[in-house]
Structure formats: structure tokens, C-alpha cells
Amino acid sequence: MKAYFTYSCILLVFVLQACQSNRKTETKNGGIVKYKITGKVDFNDGMQVYLQNYDNELQQFQKTTVKDGEFILEGELVSDGIYNLIVKTDYKDKDTGKKSFRITYPVFLENNCDYEFKVQKYRDGNVIQAAEIITNSEASNNLFVFEKEVAKVKQTWDTRREALSNEAAQLKASLMTIGKGEDSKYNYAIDRMREAGKESQELAKKNPREEVSSLFVNKPEHRTSLITPYLFKYITINENNYARYWTVLDSLDASIQQHPLTIAAKAKVERVKNFYEQMPVFPSITPRNIKGDSLDISKFRDSKLLIIALWSSRDRFSKMDIPTLLNKEPQLKNLGVSVIYLSVEKKFEEWETGNKSLGLGLNSYLLNVTDKDFIVNNYNVSSFPTYIWVEPKSLKIKELRGGDPATPDFLSAIKKAL
């Protein structure tokens, strides 16, 4: 009897492990998700429980209420993904002595998984202070870890920004105490205030979700989890990382390769991949300037960046923006950036008149029909002015839609590109 019991226990363990293993390797192709979330809440009969779109709070789904200390929230969704589980009370009668509250719990819902909402701690009689969702969904459990990491990174950045703010305030106060002959001390305080302000601004622009997503998707243990392709929505794909992220997506488990989330993530990376691997380099064209001299694009090889400004005298935005770029050329030159102006005019006289009115001088060239067609068609130029950023030595395209010189962040974008 004892031997039989032992054998039964071992068999049960193997069955449970097999079920978990099968769940991970089960093919997931997307489609309708049937879910069921159960929960037990001791002190809030009548409390509302419902699902909400993770990225859009205005979009809400099925609702239910707590009855006799329990709830069941079930239904169908159009796709796997992250949804917010909202638990909410609204006590309008002040005599109840109970407090209203609303708490959000992100959860990744997928088919064939169990979800149980469990309260860990209450405060003020009925307010849920801590709770967890117990599930066998690998993606959900990964999500819970992800959310904690995001909160941790955000807290680190907030702490750093607070420290920078305090430092800047102290430096500003110290300026009042700096006397004559202490120029170096004064200049240090001013420079450090600027540096602190710049660092604080950069931190404010950063997205902790992108930071954590980048680290998260690169971990080999997440290759079977749908959270990996999902997190690509937060990641910026560029020339420096597309190959690495393509390798990550290509190495995902076969069970999720055909899922819409994986397909969407691959499409996002593939657009950048194709851009840099299939985009033709900028041609070594030889258009002529107003004096009839041919453009020698090789003379710009020592520049750090080459801006090709495509314009038309017929276009009113060209008339507004091109002078702005022209005025910023001294600053661009200091950064190692060169500018070439290429006109797409059909008639020489129109280009000559437009060139003169804008004051472009000898660094402006008129494209012939063949070169114009190549550039417009291969680089999908649909409006003017268009600024193509080129790597001078290789003539590879860095940006098909370079920054607008009339925008405040133009020079910042240039510095970032460098």
C-alpha cells in the first residue's frame, strides 16, 4: 500500500510537470481569448471588478461584482495581451465608515491559463493594500516581474532627479555668496547648474518601460513567453540595435513564432532592417550650381554628417524653412555637419529665381531628371522640403526624414545623430 501511494505521488508529479511543459510549448496562434479570473475578497461585497485596456483607460470590458466574498470575471477578448484588472469601491454613504478606493493590477491574459486574485493585506478596515494574481500563465508571471523592475528603475531616476534639483538649488543660492575675484568658483557653479539641468531633462525624457523592456527581451529564459514580443512595442529600433533584436525574435520558441504579437514585433524590426540593409546609398551625383560647377560630393567625406536638403521654389514650406536651415549653417559647421541644397525644379529659370530669392549661393544645385527620379522614387520623397541625413564617407542613409530646422529640438536631434 505504501509503495502504491509513493508510486501515485511520483506519477502525479510527472503529470503536473508534463502539463506545465505542454502549456509552454503549446502552439499559440492568437485569436479569441477565453479567460476566467476568480477571486476572494473578505470585506467588500458589492465591489466592482472589471477589465480595462492596458494602454487606453477609456476602453473597458466585462464587469462583475463581489458577492458573498467572491467573484468570477470571465469572458472573451479579441487577442492575448496585457489588460488592467480594476478593483473598485464607491461608498457614498459616509455612515458606513468604509473608504472608497480603486486599484489597478496589470495581467497578461492568454488561453488555457488559470487566474486567481488573492488579497494579501487590508488597511483601514476594508481598503486592499496588497494583493496578487496567482496564475500558471508564463507571460503573466513575467509581466509581474517586469512591472516591479519598471517601478524600481523609475524610483532610481526620480531619486536622481531630486538630487540634481537640490544640487542646482544649493548652487543657485551659493551664487549670492561668491565675491569679487572668485570667477572660477562662479563659473563652476554656473556650469554645474547647466549640467545638472541637462541631466535632469534627459532623465525626464527617458521611458523606464523602454529601458526595462530592452533588458527583459534579451534574456534567454523568456524565449517561450508572449511577453517578449509584446514588449517590443516599447522598444525603439534603430541602426545600432536592429540586428540584435532580429536575432532575439528569430530565436523565440516555435510555439509562439506564428502569434500576431511575434509577427507584429518582427514587422517592426524588419522595417528598420530593410531600411539599412536594402536602402541604396546616396548616389554620387554631379548636378551643377548657378555658375555651372559640378557637385563633388566626395569633398564632404571629412564631415560628420551630410544634410541633403531637397526643395522647390514652388513650395511655400521650402520658402519658409530653407532660410532657417541656411541661418543655422554656422552652428552646424561647428558640429561638423555640412549641407547641400538640391532643387527639383523642372525649369532652370524657376530654380535660378528661387535660388536667388533664398540666398543659397553656390552650394545649391539643380538636379537633372534622372537623378531627381532616382532620389524621389528610391527614398519615397513625397513633400518638400525633405531633409535626408547621409553618412559622408559611405554615403549610407542615416535618416530619410531628418529633423526640421524650424523645430526647437533640431540641433539636439543633430547632436544625438552624431
Residues 305 and 409 in one domain: yes
Nearest alpha carbon to residue 81 among 25, 36, 117, 30: 30
One-letter amino acid of 22: N
Residues 351 and 255 in one domain: no
Inform me whether the pLDDT recorded for 15 exceeds 70: no
CB 307, CB 283: distance < 8 Å: no
Spell out the long-range contacts of 59-66 with Cβ–Cβ below 8 A and sequence spacing 24 or more: 66/39, 66/41
**Which of 87, 107, 136 is the last residue before a domain boundary?**
136
Domain annotation covers residue 86: yes
Residues 199 and 219 in one domain: no
| Mean pLDDT score, 392-403 | 91
96-124 pLDDT, tens digit per residue, is: 678 899 999 999 999 999 999 999 999 98
Residues 221 and 329 in one domain: no
Q: What is the C-alpha radius of gyration for the chain, rounded to an integer number of angstroms?
A: 30
| Mean pLDDT score, 294-303 | 93
Cα–Cα dist 67/376, whole Å: 65
What is the pLDDT, as a whole number, of residue 318? Answer: 92
Overall number of domains in the chain: 4
| Mean pLDDT score, 352-377 | 93
**Which of 162, 177, 206 is the last residue before a domain boundary?**
206
CB 110, CB 255: distance < 8 Å: no
208-238 pLDDT, tens digit per residue, is: 999 999 999 999 999 999 999 999 999 999 8
Domain annotation covers residue 156: yes
Domain that holds residue 122: 30-136
Residues 122 and 157 in one domain: no
Q: 413: domain CATH number?
A: 3.40.30.10
CB 49, CB 35: distance < 8 Å: no
Q: Residue 141: which pLDDT band, with cuts at 50, 70 and 90?
A: very high
Average per-residue pLDDT in the chain? 90
Domain annotation covers residue 286: no
What is the pLDDT, as a whole number, of residue 6? Answer: 40
- What residues contact residue 280 under an 8 Å CB cut-off, 6+ apart? 378
Residues 70 and 164 in one domain: no
Domain annotation covers residue 346: yes
Report the half-sphere exposure of 176 (CA within 13 A, side-chain side). Answer: 4
Domain annotation covers residue 16: no
Residues 127 and 166 in one domain: no
367-391 pLDDT, tens digit per residue, is: 999 999 999 988 888 889 999 999 9
Domain annotation covers residue 385: yes
157-170 pLDDT, tens digit per residue, is: 999 999 999 999 99
Cα–Cα dist 96/78, whole Å: 40
Domain annotation covers residue 338: yes
Residues 305 and 245 in one domain: no
**Which of 136, 156, 190 is the last residue before a domain boundary?**
136
Residues 127 and 154 in one domain: no
Residues 35 and 94 in one domain: yes
- Cα 142 versus chain centre, distance: 19
Residues 305 and 407 in one domain: yes
Instruction: Please tell me which residue, 23 or 152, carries the higher pLDDT value.
Output: 152
Percent of the chain surpassing pLDDT 90: 74
What is the pLDDT, as a whole number, of residue 276? Answer: 83
Residues 301 and 396 in one domain: yes
Q: 123: domain CATH number?
A: 2.60.40.180
What is the SS3 assignment for the chain?
CHHHHHHHHHHHHHHHHHHHHHHHHCCCCCCCEEEEEEEECCCCCCCEEEEEECCCCCCEEEEEECECCEEEEEEEECCCEEEEEEEEECCCCHHHCCCCEEEEEEEEECCCCCEEEEEEEEECCCEEEEEEEEECCHHHHHHHHHHHHHHHHHHHHHHHHHHHHHHHHHHHHHHHHCCCCCHHHHHHHHHHHHHHHHHHHHHHHCCHHHHHHHHHHCCHHHCCCCHHHHHHHHCCCCCCCHHHHHHHHHCCCHHHCCCHHHHHHHHHHHHHHHHHHHCCCCCCCCCECCCCCECCHHHHCCCCEEEEEEECCCCHHHHHHHHHHHHCHHHHHHCCEEEEEEECCCCHHHHHHHHHHHCCHHHEEECCHHHHHHHHHHCCCCCCCEEEEECCCCCCEEECCCCCCCCCCHHHHHHHHC
One-letter amino acid of 300: F
Domain annotation covers residue 7: no
